[in-house]
Structure 1
């Protein structure tokens, strides 16, 4: 299966109601907004979406809701159907296989695979995990590279080995290591594998170095600016791209300084903008308290 993974994807937050259950209406509203703003698709149940804190059945339900809304957009004919990527995770290979299978059945176009990370894995061990998952998966898979949190890092040679598998179609690299990401791009330049940046502060550099697209948290609150940055790089207008990158970086830095988790801060920002009903997070993450909402509002003005 061939997927067009170029362009802007948002690492979507997971809207929850006061009972900490999925708010399916808000999920649909965010997906429609992403399509209206020109995004290529969404990632649900990723890190920003609190994926590892959701139950497997919740990750599947979230994926199903996103896919249903994406299909509605296709029927309406107002835009191309946004792709729905879903984040799979699990503490063991068996749990990971089960999660991938459930997300595929729920309608994910592709599954972003986070390898078990109780123990730091060597590049060779990461290759083993991702090849095994891809071999059994009913939909294409992407590698989730998050070494700053998992302690497990790929090499360019390891990625080239993964790229040889026909069911592995991309990598989301969320590290800040621009040199390694450029090496990833070079290692798969002749392969049908998309390198997607998940690190907002270095997005301009990633696209300039040949990344296929992006899956970022900042696209929740600044989707049009991320689209503009992509367009500027595609047009060779690196002055504009650098200017947009600086603006995005200021906003990210201001949000990151609020002493709350990234999902909590983004949900608070979206609630302030009237885009989600509630800002609740899955425990143990705490939601932004009312007394801190003014600080979030000020951060959005940066």
Structure 2
């Protein structure tokens, strides 16, 4: 299944007491849809999922679905390192009306490849929703090998993977050996164009909060055959992409949104806001980029 080309892994807006902020969330959803986003991933890592309660996740799913009102697909982050808990949250997301779910590799437990397969298979059997797998060894401490993803792609409703291992050889193997209908998204903004060049579908992006239209333009230019322009745009966008990961995400992108007039509040502990030096460095990159528009 194709969820679109540029999906945004949405930050979770908080108020001054770091509670979910419904109005800020509505504003952010509308802003993203108006600025290049083809689909929204809710309560993923960028949405600070480790610090969201189950009830908060459900509230967030409902709120984003209501606000999007069918304009773009909404993918609910229901993955965790607890298989039964993921199954329960997935069922509730399906009842609420999510268009799909994203399942991260179980972190901390460090399961074997067979354990990963059985985990995702069990969740897939509990729902009719299309599933995007999410491989991010840098955060989860386990790398789901291409062979495991290829095997999982044989399950009817496992239709996609967000590949954030940074390994283009692995991505190429997945693209080559899965059904044509199976989609592979980059989980790294800076690898969007390289992944497209080997047959990938698009990006699940953090940077699209700030440069969504430009990311969309880059993808569409490449697909239209204007590779030189797409490459030029990639190089121009790279400093912004890098600046948004200069400190633990999503602190930089939340700060950048504030700089661009979109209020989303601060991050919850154990993350901390940018310090003065980090904020100044980010502000300089955003200012320089905005001045070149």
> Normalised by the size of structure 1, how large is the TM-score?
0.89
| 1:299 CA drift (Å) | 2.3
Q: Contact 1:5–1:213 at 8 Å: present in 2 too?
A: no
- Following superposition of structure 1 onto structure 2, how do residues 43-58 of structure 1 map, counting pairs within 5 Å? 43-58=41-56
- Cα gap change, 1:279/1:295 in structure 2, threshold over 3 Å: closer, same or farther? farther
1:147-203 deviation digits (Å, cap 9, x = unpaired): 122122223322221111111121111121111111111111x34211111111111
Deviation at 1:88, TM superposition (A): 1.5
Contact 2:105 2:142 in 1 (8 A): no
1:236-255 matches, within 5 Å, as: 236-255=225-244
Residue number among 202, 211, 214 corresponding to 2:191 in the alignment: 202
Distance 1:211 1:155 in 2: 17
2:260 to 249, 273, 283: 273
CA drift at 1:116: 2.3
Does structure 2 retain, via aligned residues, the 8 Å contact 1:121–1:151? no
Q: Is the 8 A contact 2:105 2:136 kept in 1?
A: no
**Matched residue of 1:142: which SS?**
strand
Unaligned runs of 5+ in 1: 75-80
How far apart are 1:138 and its partner, in Å? 4.1
In the TM superposition, residue 268 of structure 1 has moved relative to its aligned partner by: 0.8
- Which of the residues 19, 32, 46 maps onto 1:21? 19
1:261 aligned residue (248, 258, 262): 248
Where 2:261 maps in the other structure, the secondary structure is coil
| 144, 160, 172: which one aligns with 1:154 | 144
CA distance in 1, matches of 2:124, 2:87: 9
Deviations 1:231-290 (A, max 9, x none): 111011211111121122211223333xx32211111110111112x4311211112356
| Whole-Å separation in 1 of the counterparts to 2:274 and 2:97 | 32
CA RMSD of aligned residues (A): 1.8
Distance 1:179 1:103, change over 3 A: same
Please list the CA deviations of residues 26-62 of structure 1 after superposition, one character each: whole Å capped at 9, or x if unmatched.
2111211222123211111111111122111111111
Partner of 1:224: 213
Report deviation, 1:146.
0.6
Deviations 1:98-144 (A, max 9, x none): 22122223332111012322222222221111111000124221111
TM-score normalised over the length of structure 2 = 0.92
Residue in 2 that maps onto 1:83: 73
- Aligned 8 A contact 1:163 1:192 in 2: no
- Return the offset for 1:208: 1.1
- Cα deviation 1:80-113 (Å, max 9, x = unaligned): x111011113332112212212222333211101
8 Å Cα contact 1:113/1:141 also seen in 2: yes
Q: 1:291 to 1:158 in 2, by over 3 A?
A: closer
